[in-house]
Homo-oligomer: A and B are copies of this chain.
Amino acid sequence: MTTTDKRREILHSALKLIALNGFQGAPTALIASRANVGAGTIYCYFESKDVLIQTLYEELEIRMLAALTKGYPGTQPLRERFIHVGKSFVRYCLAVPMDFRFLEQFHNSPHGAAYRRDRILGGKDQDIIHELFEKAQKEQLIKDLPKMILMNLFFGPLLCVVRDHVLGFATLDEPTIDRTVDACWDAIRR
């Protein structure tokens, strides 16, 4: 087993434990043993448990953004772009439920709040999705509300619906996903 394998095993085992049991239910000793690695090995690769978690978060966020961007219909009408992003978001989350649960745990923790504060107050929020909302607003296709509210109107329900599915409270099939994303568009369109 190479050095990189161990690092990957540690990240994977941490992801799984945190997704299933929360930060509480993922002691370093358990992360190590599930990764078939000594307790100290974690600290060869990561300065602290916090750094491990932060690293994991950043990797998952990059993968998520890539999934939303993949196949992005940049030339089609804006409405189609919103629908694409919404569906991609739901499908990606359902495809990697562990990643989704981890991201949720992270967001609802002191880590998450701090991270978000940095991003928003640091003006670092600038990606394809922010662009999309700004353009649609300029073209008066969507309601005249603060961008953050529009984003919550669109993604808020999707987040809730995916959570309910992943936790086993509901079941999402393809047609239901499509119609839910359409409903989110109804919320923001003029």
Contact = CB atoms under 8 A, between A and B. Distances in A.
Given A117-B169, A187-B184, A187-B186, A152 B145 contact: no
Nearest to A119: B169
Interface in A169-190: 169-170, 176, 179-180, 183-184, 186-189
Interface residues of A, number: 41
B156 A176 contact: no
Contacts of A168: 117
Interface stretch (A30-38, A41-49, A78-86, A104-112): A104-112
A57 to B, nearest CB: 16
A97 interface: no
| Chain B CB within 10 Å, residue with most, of A25, A149, A168, A176 | A149
Contacts of A164: 148, 152
Interface of A: 21-22, 24-25, 104-105, 108-110, 113, 116-117, 120, 143, 145-146, 148-149, 152-153, 155-161, 164, 167-170, 176, 179-180, 183-184, 186-189
How many of these chains are in the complex?
2
A145 B175 CA distance: 10
A21 to B, nearest CB: 8
Contact of A113 (B24, B167, B170, B186): B167
A167 B148 CA distance: 13
B169 A149 contact: no
A110 B25 CA distance: 10
A68 to B, nearest CB: 18
